[in-house]
Structure 1
Amino acid sequence: MKSHQIIALSLLSVLVFSALEVSIATKSAYAQDDDRWYIGKNAPADTYYIYKIQDAAVKDGAPFTMALYLQEQDSSGDWTAPVYVVENTGHVITGTFKLGENLAVLSGSSDIPEEMEPYVGGYQDTLTWLEAFTNKAEPESLNAVTWGKIACIGCGTLDPKGSEQVTAAGNTYDTTVLVNHRGQTDSKIWVAKELPYPVKAKTYADVTAGLPPIQYVFDLVETGAGQLPTPEETSVIPDSPLTLTTGRGTYAMTLSWSPNEIMPGAETDFNIQFENSRGVPMERTNYDFVVKSAATGDVIQEFTNQNTGEGNTGDVKVMFDQGGPVTVTVTINSVAGATTDPFIESADFNIVVVPEFPTIIAMLALAAALASMVMIGRARGSILGGGRRGI
């Protein structure tokens, strides 16, 4: 074979192998990119997501429902997202978020009523920490050994720890479980690569000692195409008992009452139990128990400097003059003789006194029905009696 033919074949071989290498590298890059995930990846327009959320920093950890509709994306990548929140009392709040590509709320251009602002904070809390590990500029692989750690003393790393099937919103998702281990707890976030949001999460707060309290929990309830209608306002009457954490997550309080249906004009026995974030009962707790009208904020009754004694429970008796929603605020002043100053450790319990007038109406209706039955009975008796007299 002539030298120029050998050179030509060598060049052809180089070109062929180079093409193969480029092809393999390209496929590998596509595969790697397909394996990477970040908040907002491949978010489709005209899609809604409904989540049940609890955040220790929002309304003392009371659960709420948030629905977001990713309506459309502009040329800069920002989303217009109508949103509604349903509080645990049944109250509905509506607004419109302007979201960045990472689905974070852009406060300057969002239409957010004041009463929705705490829930905006709750929404942001559930995403900000995760975005510090993975984002569009630096996405992470769901098959990586670790996603590293952020600048936080003792925060540990966030690591993909295998897969788990999760049923949510009527679907079963193959998720990757992201785990952040700190001390004696594992914060977990479940991610499905086909969804722009995590499927669910359960994370714990940072504490310097002891078992940390839950920071936030959320679960995907529903997802689909098209915009959902805003639900109607409802009045939810909560059942006894209710458990809330104080604003800092230091203590948990459980409020129970008897009878379960609180009526005007009848005495209601309230019982309050105190525990720390680890679920350990707290003895000798001094507290204030204040009952206010949820509508006006007027104080209905106030009990200050109450004590649990050597146990962890306190009892208060309240008489309500009228029905309607009320707020019971319990503030811890001291525990075992140690004051909680300068921090305010309190929780607001939203309960409902059953309106008096529906009961009266029901009684009148029942009385009218009974009267009608008596009259009909008398009429029937007269007819039957007359018939018998004619025989």
Structure 2
Amino acid sequence: MNRTILSIITVFFLGSLLVPHAFAQFQGGGVDKDGSWYAGEGLKQGDFFSYSMCHVDYKECTNFELDMWIKGEKQVGSETKWLAEVAVFDGNKIIVGEMELGKIAPEPTGGSIELGQYRGAFKSSIAWLSAFATSDDSSGGKGPKEFRATSWGKIGNIGGEQVVPKAIETITVPAGTWETVQIGWKTGGITSKVWIVDDFPFPIQAKTYTHVSEGIPPTEYEFRLLDYKENVQESPIAQYTSTAQDLIDAGCEVNFDKEVSIKKPTKNFDYQIHVFYGPEDLVEGCPTQWLIKFISKYDDTEFLNQVQYDFLVVDNNLKPLRSIAQEDNRNFLYSPSGQAILDFTVKEKPGIAKYVVWVYGLAPEGIVPNTASDFVEIPVTIFAKDDIANVQEIPSWVKNNAGWWA
């Protein structure tokens, strides 16, 4: 009897020890498909790709289109790289330039300065799996990864899980219908997914999330393939011209810093708003960029999260004349981190424009905030292009002193 009880206890105890092992097997991946994949697999001269994409580090995942044509090879020192012509369509802006892509891992390692922030977004999204799967396992490369492998590696952040092949799926994107292998990993309880195709250089679709310790994880990056063509021998990028040159020809300033700084509480003192904008003198028909920081009313160092807001132009009665959100076909703008960058063209007539940062409240996208709206008004002088030359001739120290005395 004692021996029987001991046996039951032993089985129960050992069974409990096996639970973590079974759970580890459940976390493992691998799909029923022969072969392997690496970032850049099958990439060749004449390939043309068009992606719709966003990345959290670029305006908190503001969408843009990136077209890329593999022009050929380029020798850089002792390394042979791919040379790609690129056109980016970002709102009303077009940016044209070149990117250099590595052969072992197709990450952008050089190219046109104008494409800098877009190169970073491309590297951290479309080319991101090169951190786990490359063409060669020598010289620091990771080598190709098998579809049947239980794991391709582990996410580096705290609490990150294994990157694993999870499923075989047939999915449709604007570029067509593809049989894919879904690569996935968990972040903050939500599964991030990237869909790859055997012998195709880059993933064709992705939806991933940033790692957070609590709350709803915001999107880290998202993209899908709009178009793909092979053996394109005439540059499809040559037809485009950077809009920056058109703005320069029109007399607009394009290389400017956000020198103007304004910090104010909202009308009902619910929030603090700190804005930086440039250029110093806003001109009708020319671009401007604003950095908006949403700050706690209790602590200047604490940024607010999940801010639903809009950037408006209003009349003397606070009636909206223009909404940046509506111009982007959205009901509101959204800042997960409390720091937002806005690029837009000044459409207001010369004189005093009343810009307003309107805060609807703090809530995840798709959820209506349960607090009243609040706002801060920022009057700004708008100049005509004919007048700005005279303004710019005035030394900056004169304008600064005049502003100080005012």
Q: Is the TM value for this pair above 0.5?
A: yes
User: CA separation of 1:98/1:143 partners in 2, compared to 1, >3 Å: closer, same or farther?
Assistant: closer
Instruction: Give SS of 2:125's match.
Output: helix
Identity of paired residues, percent?
22
In structure 1, the partner of 2:291 is 329
* Residue 45 of structure 1: how far off its partner (Å): 2.2
* Residue 341 of structure 1: how far off its partner (Å): 5.5
Whether 2:91 is the aligned partner of 1:88: answer: yes
Larger-gyration structure (1/2) = 1
* Residue 49 of structure 1: how far off its partner (Å): 0.9
User: CA separation of 1:93/1:59 partners in 2, compared to 1, >3 Å: closer, same or farther?
Assistant: farther
Whether 2:206 is the aligned partner of 1:201: answer: yes
2-structure distance, mates of 1:311, 1:342: 13
In structure 1, the partner of 2:144 is 139
Tell me whether 166-175 or 146-155 shows the greater mean CA deviation: 146-155
State whether residues 178 and 188 of structure 1, in contact with CA within 8 Å, keep that contact through their aligned partners in structure 2.
Answer: yes
Whether 2:76 is the aligned partner of 1:117: answer: no
In structure 2, the partner of 1:39 is 39
Instruction: Give SS of 1:71's match.
Output: strand
* Residue 36 of structure 1: how far off its partner (Å): 0.6
RMSD: 3.7
1:55-79 CA-to-partner distances (Å, cap 9, x unmatched) read 1112443222222222334797632
User: CA separation of 1:355/1:304 partners in 2, compared to 1, >3 Å: closer, same or farther?
Assistant: closer
Q: 1:350 aligns with which of 332, 343, 350?
A: 343
* Residue 47 of structure 1: how far off its partner (Å): 0.8
1-structure distance, mates of 2:267, 2:167: 47
Tell me the number of residue pairs that the alignment of Structure 1 and Structure 2 aligns: 260
1-structure distance, mates of 2:87, 2:132: 28
Q: Which amino acid is 1:331 matched to?
A: K
Instruction: Give SS of 1:78's match.
Output: strand
Q: 2:216 aligns with which of 195, 208, 211?
A: 211
State whether residues 200 and 217 of structure 1, in contact with CA within 8 Å, keep that contact through their aligned partners in structure 2.
Answer: yes
1-structure distance, mates of 2:33, 2:82: 23
In structure 2, the partner of 1:273 is none
2-structure distance, mates of 1:148, 1:298: 41
Q: Which amino acid is 2:340 matched to?
A: A
In structure 1, the partner of 2:48 is 48
Whether 2:265 is the aligned partner of 1:306: answer: yes
In structure 2, the partner of 1:126 is 125
* Residue 215 of structure 1: how far off its partner (Å): 1.3
User: CA separation of 1:33/1:99 partners in 2, compared to 1, >3 Å: closer, same or farther?
Assistant: farther
Structure 2's unaligned 5+ residue stretches are: 1-31, 138-142, 245-251, 276-281, 305-336, 351-406
Structure 1's unaligned 5+ residue stretches are: 1-31, 236-292, 358-391
State whether residues 80 and 99 of structure 1, in contact with CA within 8 Å, keep that contact through their aligned partners in structure 2.
Answer: no
State whether residues 79 and 98 of structure 1, in contact with CA within 8 Å, keep that contact through their aligned partners in structure 2.
Answer: yes
1-structure distance, mates of 2:267, 2:192: 34
2-structure distance, mates of 1:298, 1:34: 53
Whether 2:222 is the aligned partner of 1:229: answer: no
State whether residues 86 and 93 of structure 1, in contact with CA within 8 Å, keep that contact through their aligned partners in structure 2.
Answer: no
Tell me whether 116-125 or 131-140 shows the greater mean CA deviation: 131-140
* Residue 104 of structure 1: how far off its partner (Å): 1.5
In structure 1, the partner of 2:103 is 100
Q: Which amino acid is 1:166 matched to?
A: I
State whether residues 52 and 219 of structure 1, in contact with CA within 8 Å, keep that contact through their aligned partners in structure 2.
Answer: yes
State whether residues 272 and 297 of structure 2, in contact with CA within 8 Å, keep that contact through their aligned partners in structure 1.
Answer: no
* Residue 187 of structure 1: how far off its partner (Å): 0.9
2-structure distance, mates of 1:58, 1:321: 25
Matches for 1:1-391 after TM superposition, within 5 Å = 35-73=35-73, 78-107=81-110, 112-127=111-126, 129-136=128-135, 137=137, 138-225=143-230, 226=232, 227-230=235-238, 231-233=240-242, 295=254, 297=256, 304-307=263-266, 309=268, 322-332=284-294, 334-340=295-301, 345-354=338-347
User: CA separation of 1:193/1:116 partners in 2, compared to 1, >3 Å: closer, same or farther?
Assistant: same
* Residue 336 of structure 1: how far off its partner (Å): 4.8
Q: Which amino acid is 1:330 matched to?
A: I
Instruction: Give SS of 1:123's match.
Output: helix
User: CA separation of 1:170/1:321 partners in 2, compared to 1, >3 Å: closer, same or farther?
Assistant: closer
* Residue 102 of structure 1: how far off its partner (Å): 2.0
* Residue 140 of structure 1: how far off its partner (Å): 1.8
Instruction: Give SS of 1:220's match.
Output: strand
* Residue 151 of structure 1: how far off its partner (Å): 4.7
Q: Which amino acid is 1:305 matched to?
A: K
2-structure distance, mates of 1:353, 1:172: 42
1-structure distance, mates of 2:303, 2:261: 22
* Residue 194 of structure 1: how far off its partner (Å): 3.5
Q: Which amino acid is 1:324 matched to?
A: C
* Residue 202 of structure 1: how far off its partner (Å): 1.5
1-structure distance, mates of 2:126, 2:261: 39
1-structure distance, mates of 2:132, 2:259: 49
2-structure distance, mates of 1:131, 1:299: 35
Q: Which amino acid is 2:210 matched to?
A: A
Quick check: which one's helix share is greater?
1
State whether residues 175 and 192 of structure 1, in contact with CA within 8 Å, keep that contact through their aligned partners in structure 2.
Answer: yes
State whether residues 133 and 150 of structure 1, in contact with CA within 8 Å, keep that contact through their aligned partners in structure 2.
Answer: no
Q: Which amino acid is 1:65 matched to?
A: E
